[in-house]
Amino acid sequence: GDLAEEVDTIIIGSGPGGYVAAIRAAQLGQSVTIVEKGNLGGVCLNVGCIPSKALIEAGHSYEKAQGNDELGIKAENVSVDFSKVQEWKSGVVQKLTGGVQSLLKGNKVNVVQGEAYLSDKDTVRVSSENNSGQSYKFKNCIIATGSQPIELPNFKYSDRVIDSSGALALEDIPEKLVVIGGGYIGIELAGAYANFGTEVTVLEGEKRILGGFEKQMSQLVQRRLKNKGVTFYTQAMASGVEEKDDGVTVTADVKGEEQKIDADYVLVSVGRKPNTEELGLEQIGVEMDDKGLIQTDKEARTSVSNIFAIGDITDGPPLAHKASYEGKIAAEVISGEASAIDYLGIPLVAFSEPELAAVGYTEDEAKEAGFEAKTSKFPFQANGRALSLNDTDGFMKLVTRKDDGLVIGAQIAGPSASDMIAEVGLAIEAGMTAEDVAMTIHAHPTLGEITMEAAEVALGTPIHSM
Ligand code: FAD
C-alpha cells in the first residue's frame, strides 16, 4: 500500500460549496486539501450559473439592439456573431475559475487533481491519470460533489439530444429548439435562445412551468415568453426522439394526444441527480435517502460524525449560494465554532423574464408552520423607475407575521428581482419588522423602493397606492 498523507480537513469537489468551505476552513486555521476531478469552480462557474447568465445577457443585448417601437428606436441590420458570444462567455468563466484558483492558493489550500473515493471513515483515496492512488488520512471531510443532469431513458444524450452544458456550448444559434422540462434551468435557456431568435417549444409534464414559485409568478414568465414566440405544451410527456443528421423529431403525449415536433436540438432539463454513487458512501455508513441525497443535520454533519456534506448532494434547493452557505457552516463547525444552518434566509431565484425571487415564507407556508401571516403587495406599475425602464411586469409581495409585523418572507417578480430579494433576506436575518423596512430611506427613483412601499402597505399607510 501507499503511504497515506495526513491532513486536517479534506474537501471533495471544488464547486461553490467546496471551494468556499476550503477558504473558510483555511481562514479558521485548518490545513486544507481540496480534491477536484474536473475544473475548479464546479458546475456553477463552468457550466451553470455563470455561463448561463452570460448567455442570457447576450440574448437581452441582441433583443434590445433590434429597436423599440414604443420608444421610437429604430434599428436595422442587427446581427449576432455567435462565436463571439461564446468567446466572451468563456472569457467570463475563465476569469472566475482563475480567481478561485488564486484564492485557494492565497489561502494555502492544497489543490489535488483527481477522483476521490472514501475508502474508510478517515481515509480518502485519490486516483488520477498520472497517480493511480494517493491516500489522505483526514480528521474531517466535507463532501461537495454536486449533481449532474438526469438522463431520460428514451433520450440518450448525443450531439442533438443535449443537456444544459450542451445548450450553453452550441456553436450556432439553433433555428428550432425543444426544451423538455420547464424548471428554472429549462426556462432560463428557453428565454435566452428565444431572444436570439430561436423558435422554442417547451414541454412541461405538470400543469404549469416553474413549479417552485407561486402560480401568479410563473404565469407572468409564461406570458412574456409566449410574446417572444415560445410555444408551451403543459401536461406533456416527451416519449421519444428520432435523430437525423441535421436535427431531431420529438414525440410527446400532450393531454392524451400525440404531437411531433421538429427541431435542431432537444434540450433535456428534467432535473439533476446527486453525485453520490461512486464515493464509497454505503460501505462506510453515510446515510442517504432514496434519491441518493446525503442526510445531514443542522451542522451539515452526516451520519458519520467526522464527515460533512454540503450543496447539491444534500436536501434543499440545489443552488450555488445554498452550497456556499452550507460550506461556511461546515467549515466553522469543523473548526470548533458554534454554527448551524437556518434555511429560512436562502433565496430562490430564476433568471427568467421577468426575474422571479422568493425568500422565507409565503403566506400559506407560514400558515402551515402555525402562525398567522399577512401578505402586502405592491406592483412595479406604480414604481417610477420600473416605468422609466419600460419594464413594469410584476410585483413585490412582502410577508409579515400578523401579531408583531416581523418580516418573514417575500416573493418578487420583476426587473432585478434577483438583486432585490437580498434586502428582504437581510430583514429576515436581522429580525426586522415592516416598520423598520418602511423607515429605511430608499433612493428615488429605484426599483428597491418597491420593498419600502410594500412595507408601508403592511402598515396600512402606503403613499403610492390606495
Ligand atoms: P458542483 O458545483 O456540482 O461541484 C461539484 C464538483 O465536485 C464538480 O467540480 C465535480 O467535478 C467535483 N466532483 C464530483 N465527484 C468528485 C469526486 N469523486 N472526486 C473529485 N471531485 C469530484 N444556481 C444558482 O444559485 N444560481 C444560478 O443562476 C444557477 N444557474 C444554473 C444554471 C445551470 C445551467 C445549471 C446546470 C445550474 C445552475 N445553478 C444555479 C445550480 C448550481 O450550479 C449548483 O447548485 C451548484 O453548482 C452546486 O454546487 P456544489 O458545490 O454542490 O456542486
Q: What are the pLDDT digits (tens) for 44-89?
A: 999 999 999 999 999 999 999 999 999 999 999 999 999 999 999 9
Distances (CA, A) of 348 to 42, 88, 351, 416: 20, 27, 10, 13
Q: Has 456 been labeled as part of a binding site? A: no
Lowest average pLDDT, out of 46-55, 93-102, 131-140, 299-308, goes to 131-140
Phi, psi of 119 (to 5 degrees): -85, -15
- In this prediction the pTM is 0.97
Q: Is it the case that residue 132 has pLDDT exceeding 80? A: no
Q: Has 53 been labeled as part of a binding site? A: yes
Q: Is it the case that residue 359 has pLDDT exceeding 80? A: yes
C-alpha grid cell for residue 380? 412595479
Residue 13 Cβ inside 6 Å of ligand 1? The answer reads yes
Distance CA 250, CA 26 (A): 50
pLDDT confidence of residue 133: 87
pLDDT confidence of residue 3: 86
* Residue whose CA is at the smallest distance from ligand 1 atom 26: 49
At 165-198, the pLDDT tens digits run 999 999 999 999 999 999 999 999 999 999 999 9
Burial of 337 (0-12, 13-18, 19+ CB in 10 A): exposed
Closest listed residue to residue 198, CA positions, set 232, 160, 228, 162: 228
Which residues contact residue 60 at a Cβ distance below 8 angstroms, ignoring those fewer than 6 apart?
Answer: 195
**What separation in Å is there between the alpha carbon of 7 and the centre of ligand 1?**
25
* Residue whose CA is at the smallest distance from ligand 1 atom 14: 145
C-alpha grid cell for residue 344? 429560512
At 298-311, the pLDDT tens digits run 999 999 999 999 99
Distances (CA, A) of 59 to 48, 89, 170, 392: 16, 12, 14, 20
pLDDT confidence of residue 199: 98
pLDDT confidence of residue 117: 97
Residue 413 Cβ inside 6 Å of ligand 1? The answer reads no
- Do residues 432 and 407 lie in contact, with contact meaning Cβ atoms separated by under 8 Å? yes
Q: Is the dihedral of CA 261, 263, 266, 270 positive or negative?
A: negative
* Residue whose CA is at the smallest distance from ligand 1 atom 27: 49
Q: What is the ipTM of this complex?
A: 0.99
* Residue whose CA is at the smallest distance from ligand 1 atom 34: 48
Residue 444 annotated among the catalytic residues of the structure: yes
Average pLDDT value for residue range 425-439:
98
366 — pLDDT class (breaks 50, 70, 90): very high
Q: Considering the candidates 60, 321, 442, 444, report the single residue annotated as catalytic.
A: 444
pLDDT confidence of residue 233: 97
Distance CA 391, CA 379 (A): 11
Residue 314 Cβ inside 6 Å of ligand 1? The answer reads no
Q: Has 183 been labeled as part of a binding site? A: yes
- Do residues 15 and 146 lie in contact, with contact meaning Cβ atoms separated by under 8 Å? yes
Residue 409 Cβ inside 6 Å of ligand 1? The answer reads no
Mutate to test the pocket of ligand 1, among 112, 141, 145 (most ligand atoms within 8 A of CB): 145
What are the DSSP E strand ranges found in 255-372? 257-263, 265-268, 272-274, 307-309, 348-350, 356-360
Q: Has 271 been labeled as part of a binding site? A: yes
Closest listed residue to residue 324, CA positions, set 338, 310, 334: 310
Distance CA 149, CA 270 (A): 8
- Do residues 203 and 178 lie in contact, with contact meaning Cβ atoms separated by under 8 Å? yes
Q: Has 291 been labeled as part of a binding site? A: no
* Residue given cell 418597491 in the structure block: 450
Q: Which atom of ligand 1 is nearest to the CA of 272?
A: 36
- Do residues 12 and 145 lie in contact, with contact meaning Cβ atoms separated by under 8 Å? yes
- Do residues 125 and 134 lie in contact, with contact meaning Cβ atoms separated by under 8 Å? yes
Distance from the Cα of residue 354 to its chain's centroid: 16
Q: Is it the case that residue 243 has pLDDT exceeding 70? A: yes
pLDDT confidence of residue 466: 77
Between 184-195 and 49-65, two packed helices, what is the crossing angle to 10 degrees? 30
Distances (CA, A) of 63 to 56, 68, 87, 141, 226: 11, 10, 19, 47, 15
What SS3 class is residue 321? helix
Distance CA 301, CA 141 (A): 10
**What separation in Å is there between the alpha carbon of 398 and the centre of ligand 1?**
31
- Do residues 104 and 118 lie in contact, with contact meaning Cβ atoms separated by under 8 Å? no
* Residue whose CA is at the smallest distance from ligand 1 atom 11: 38
